[in-house]
Amino acid sequence: MSNNGTTMSDYERIRLVILGGPGVGKSSIVKRFLSNTYTSKYKSTIEDLYNREYDLGHMTLKVDILDTAGDMQFPAMRRLCIATAHAFLLVYAVTSAPSLDCIKQCFEEIREQRGDFQDIPIVVAGNKLDLTSTHREIPIEDVSEWVYCELPKLRVKVLECSAKDDINVKEIFRTFLTLSRIFPRDPEEAGGLKRRSSAYVSNKGGRRNASPAPEKDKAGPSEGKDTLMKPRSRSLIRRASRKTKQQMREAQGGTDDCHVS
């Protein structure tokens, strides 16, 4: 019970950390989800932290989405990101074989640092699905074989998406709620997220509030008014971290079969 009388059944906060190589579209996925915007211009990320609050009916969910650097220039920051995460989004580009090697390295870092790695919700997302008609280097079967056959039992899902064409972006974030047992596994039972407020923080010092979202906005972007503002930055090391939750049960059903469809 918190000081204001709110129980954990009424209030929950999770931190989603996004890892992957440079140029795979991590920031594009976040911006498509939060503000339904996309730009083809590439700008490297150091560390951007976004905040959203959702009304799930039975509880209020506060989500911190941490978009990290794609290179290895900030190892201390990277270790802290991994240590404080409640869930991970590992992003690769289906058009780049080296990008899959990068998220494999990210997973090894998670396994080394987190003794509870088998209980942490993880989504492995192959971005740039819109380019597969002309150029594909990574079949989804190869990724599924690595995840479901080579790795220990995990709470994980593999999917492909396109931030540019807005394919499966909302599904990524709904999946985290399902893997976290916040939403049921059946999408029809899950319904939609109702956004209560929007805000963001990021790594060069600053926090601003975005325009209020519509009363019953579904999971993902509101249209038109809730425009994602250009992030500022503030080092995660200066932010108080929450101790990793140990409340997850066994890995999601189905991942213990080595079956690649």
Q: Write the DSSP assignment of 18-76 as a string of letters.
A: EEE-TTSSHHHHHHHHHHS---------SEEEEEEEEE-SSSEEEEEEEEE-SSSS-HH
Alpha-carbon radius of gyration of the chain: 17
Averaged pLDDT in 10-residue chunks for the chain of 261 residues: 44 87 93 91 75 82 85 78 95 97 95 96 97 94 96 95 96 90 52 46 42 41 39 41 40 46 45
| Structural domains in the chain plus CATH codes | 11-232 (3.40.50.300)
Q: Token pair of 253, please?
A: 């059903």
Q: CA angle, corner 57, sides to 52 and 62, nearest 5?
A: 20
pTM for the model: 0.69
Nearest CA to 234 out of 70, 50, 98, 57 is that of: 50
Which helix (DSSP H) or strand (DSSP E) does residue 162 occupy? none
Nearest one of 163, 101, 153, 103 to 128, comparing CA atoms: 163
Kind and range of the H or E run holding 84: helix 75-84
Query: Which residue type sits at 139?
Result: P
| pLDDT on residue 116 | 95
